[in-house]
Structure 1
Amino acid sequence: MFMNNFIYKGHIVKKYLGQCFLIDNKVIKNIIDIINPLYDDVLIEIGPGFGALTIPVSNFVRKLFVIELDKDLVLYLCNNKLISSNVVIFKQNVMSFNFCYFSLIYNKNIRIFGNLPYNISVSLIIYFIRYINHIKDMYFMMQKEVVDKLISLPGNKNYCRLTVIMQYYYEIFFLFNVYSKSFIPSPRIDSSFVKIIPRSKNIYKVNNIKLFNLIVKSAFMFRRKMLRNSLSNFFTVNDLIKLNINPDLRAENISVYDFCKLSNNL
């Protein structure tokens, strides 16, 4: 995805960490306007890089918490005079970070934003499900192809297992695309900026989340198969018809609501 040994601001870009740095000031301003950081918000940034978002956002809030795995970038941020004292830097793998801690000590739900490394973006948004009751909203830059899946509707080629699981837990809003020239080094793919809000009152009622996950996984395991075949271990054709679900449809045609209905009737 990147040139070998690409150096930016004296930093050797680490391909294995999926590093690319936002440099487009118009995009940066647009992101900040959308996030609309308020003084008492509990804001956490993932992957601050060189502080393109960190520095301006820190001017709006009492405290800004940032999580960065790369020790070289942590050192850069600590030595950067533009980084104010209200920025608290954690050198840590975000996949082991305890987000609910900040929600509990500040007695309010947290807000999360960042330019997510492409190589962990999907794993990370799934990881956040465990903190769903502690999160107010999230704003992420992600690869466009992933966002296309997150916001897809039944019948679309991008509609997949990830779509169903994420839309069960979250409301997801596409905001705008960001092209590769807005980053350095420039990735070979375009990105999209999204807003993700946990469903405070889930409109989908599931009796057993494990059964729900199993049904969704089974249906999409062979996505070109009709439901009469892909879910034959769980339902007969007559069962599906009684649930008002066409057995000749495929997983990509089934709404989140219908997947919930299927799992609740096992």
Structure 2
Amino acid sequence: MAKPHQARKRFGQNFLHDQGVIERIVRSIHPKPEDALVEIGPGQGALTEELIQEAPALQVIELDRDLVPVLRTRFFNYPEFRIHEADALNLDFAALAPAGKRLRVVGNLPYNISTPLIFHLLGQAETVEDMHFMLQKEVVQRLAAVPGDPHYGRLSIMTSYHCRVQPLFEVGPGAFRPSPKVDSAIVRLIPHRELPHPTTDYKQLQIVVRTAFNARRKTLRKALGSLVSAETLQSLGIDDGLRPENLTLQQYVAIADWLADHAPDTDT
């Protein structure tokens, strides 16, 4: 009898085994046969088993080479099933999308890569229909936070720029093997088809938000002092005495656009 696969710390593996939680996740996703469904980190295939019943052309991305034979054996009778041995952080997701379709992305994400992976996917949001992720509960709180919320920050703002965020339900440690030391939660991210507050310079927006939250305890006049003056903030209708966590996405976009419009002319 084959020796059970041991979860590996370096891959941040916590395998989902609670059938009730798995079924609730699948109901939330509501996969259909025609969906271009992609699962990140299928592990031993517990969630995969349920997804593939509804979407036989399921694609999975697995970094742990030892798990690939397990998955191939378990799902050998699904001819449309595809395994990509790859690091999702470096993957071109657009290459997985069939012509004329957007991807539906699903994953029980390792806590150590969840934030960078979400940013990686947000950069390819035009090829994604929606995303359903199991994340650390605190990360979901940060994703869904609104101005004034203590969890509100860079992740909240940059995610809301690209997506609508819907926290779905929480999952306790006992649903996994081994049990993590934190609670988890399921979140749905739906990319905007039209951005509600588009900026003229996305890189400038990233700089403004990063600079602000590097000094989140300070007032805006101090936190953003290296970029804009208090007078400029006031001219944009922004109280320079507020803290970074009090500003809306729209206000951050206004600051970024002002900076883009007033950048020094470098042409010679």
Query: TM-score w.r.t. structure 1 length?
Result: 0.93
* Aligned match of 2:266: none
* Aligned match of 2:126: 133
SS at match of 2:232: helix
Q: Distance in 1 between matches of 2:234 and 2:74?
A: 64
Q: Distance in 2 between matches of 1:73 and 1:190?
A: 25
1:124 corresponds, among 117, 120, 132, to: 117
2:70 paired with 1:60: no
* Aligned match of 1:142: 135
Render the CA deviation track for 1:145-170: whole Å, top value 9, x for unaligned: 11111101111111111111111111
Q: Distance in 2 between matches of 1:158 and 1:259?
A: 17
Structure 1, gaps ≥5 residues long? 1-7
What's the CA shift for 1:83?
6.1
* Aligned match of 2:196: 203
2:23 corresponds, among 26, 29, 32, to: 29
2:39 paired with 1:50: no
Q: Distance in 1 between matches of 2:211 and 2:119?
A: 19
* Aligned match of 1:98: 92
Alignment of 1:1-266 (within 5 A): 10-80=4-74, 84-103=78-97, 105-266=98-259
Q: Distance in 1 between matches of 2:138 and 2:192?
A: 23
Over 3 Å counting, the alpha-carbon distance change for 1:81 and 1:201 in structure 2 is closer
Over 3 Å counting, the alpha-carbon distance change for 1:9 and 1:149 in structure 2 is farther
Indicate the RMSD between aligned Cα atoms, in angstroms: 1.5
* More deviation, 94-103/159-168: 94-103
SS at match of 2:124: helix
Structure 2, gaps ≥5 residues long? 260-268
Over 3 Å counting, the alpha-carbon distance change for 1:209 and 1:81 in structure 2 is closer
Length, aligned pairs only: 258
Over 3 Å counting, the alpha-carbon distance change for 1:228 and 1:260 in structure 2 is same
Q: Distance in 2 between matches of 1:83 and 1:30?
A: 25
What's the CA shift for 1:81?
5.7
SS at match of 1:200: coil
SS at match of 1:133: helix
Render the CA deviation track for 1:134-190: whole Å, top value 9, x for unaligned: 100000000011111110111111111111111111111100000101111000001
Q: Distance in 1 between matches of 2:45 and 2:243?
A: 45
Q: Distance in 2 between matches of 1:83 and 1:260?
A: 50
